[in-house]
Amino acid sequence: MLLNEIPSLDLADFTSGDAQKKAQFVQQLGSAFNTIGFVAIKGHGLTDTFTKDLYQEVENFFQSPDALKQAYEIEGIAGQRGYVGKGKETAKGFKVPDLKEFYHVGQVHRSDGDSVWEEYPQNVFPTEFPNFERHTVQAYQTLEAAGKALLQAIAIYLELPEDYFEAKVLHGNSILRAIHYFPILNPDALPEGAVRAAAHGDINLITLLMGASAEGLEVLRMDGKWIPITALPDQVVVNVGDMLDRLTNHKLKSTIHRVVNPPREKMGSSRYSIPFFMHPRSEMDLSCLSSCVNSEYPKLYVDMNAGEFLTERLIELGLLKK
């Protein structure tokens, strides 16, 4: 079960219209993000039945032959849509690729005249699995709505206008990533240091992660100890990403986390995980908020916008060539 070190909150307290519950939610969320960087949230809008069906669709795709999956791997877009194969992503600061493959779903393009659609590749969906599109798009839109509510709470905590993030995340460059940590059939042949997901911080503003199919996620606590974390069935785990860390000058902390390899007796089994990475529009200024910079907390980061930071990190991950 979820460790008691990770606070558990109900998003309904923020959206209920009860001023006292809303204020308490804001303070508890902000306090968690100010210290450990992770919180468990219920009331996010995903039902257990829907989540089960979504995971089944994802599993069906990843259990397909490599040739079928590779038909949805698109060259020239840095893996931002469709399938990304094994050995393609390496965590920042590491030399060995993560032991995973994944599938990216982004914003559904609209005919509303927003110039942002020119920046984003079109989604691609496996025609062999007709329910894959419906389930992933619904999950995307549900988690995006929950993420917007959480960003409103974060804005209040930072003493900003409640709608501070609204225009910045409108049609933002968010990604739903369906991940398959494939079976490790010959552990003795693994390169030194090869793990399912090496220690990293997420790129984005916040990440919303529904419960994975197996244990393995660990968070680096402030005292340097790694602790396991698992969402309960009705929860999503939410963490601060590097963009929000930069914006708040490390007041809200992007916590380092990893996915470790399973015990040897479980290495032959798969693990599935579906995080939603909430990104703003590329033009969002990530310069540290003046309210988060003072003589005690000097400015830590150089000024850049979200698009520039994303490009920098995609290069570091090996998904984009210089």
Cβ proximity of 320 and 75 under 8 Å: no
- Cα separation, 280 vs 233, in Å, equals 28
Position 316 scores a pLDDT of 87
Helix 19-35 / helix 130-157 crossing angle, nearest 10 deg: 100
The alpha helices in the chain, defined as continuous H runs, are 11-15, 19-35, 48-62, 66-70, 130-157, 166-169, 242-247, 306-317
| Strand-by-strand arrangement of the 197-200 sheet | 197-200, 257-259, 217-220, 226-228
Does any domain span residue 247? yes
Strand partners, 219: 227, 257
Does any domain span residue 137? yes
Cβ proximity of 267 and 186 under 8 Å: no
How buried is residue 73: exposed, middle or buried, by Cβ count under 10 Å (0-12/13-18/19+)?
Answer: middle
Closest CA to 8 of 37, 31, 39: 39
Does any domain span residue 248? yes
User: Tokens 């927003």 label which residue?
Assistant: 114
Position 38 scores a pLDDT of 87
How buried is residue 95: exposed, middle or buried, by Cβ count under 10 Å (0-12/13-18/19+)?
Answer: exposed
Q: Report how many domains make up the chain.
A: 1
> pTM (2 decimals)?
0.95
Q: Which CATH number do you get for residue 238?
A: 2.60.120.330
- Cα separation, 245 vs 293, in Å, equals 13
Which residues 6+ apart lie within 8 Å of 127 measured at CB?
A: none
Cα dihedral sign, 286-144-212-26: positive
Does any domain span residue 322? no
Range of the domain at 69: 9-317
Does any domain span residue 4? no
Does any domain span residue 2? no
- Give, as one character, the DSSP assignment of residue 122: P
Regions of the chain where pLDDT drops below 50: 1-4
Position 3 scores a pLDDT of 42
Position 246 scores a pLDDT of 97
Cβ proximity of 46 and 139 under 8 Å: yes
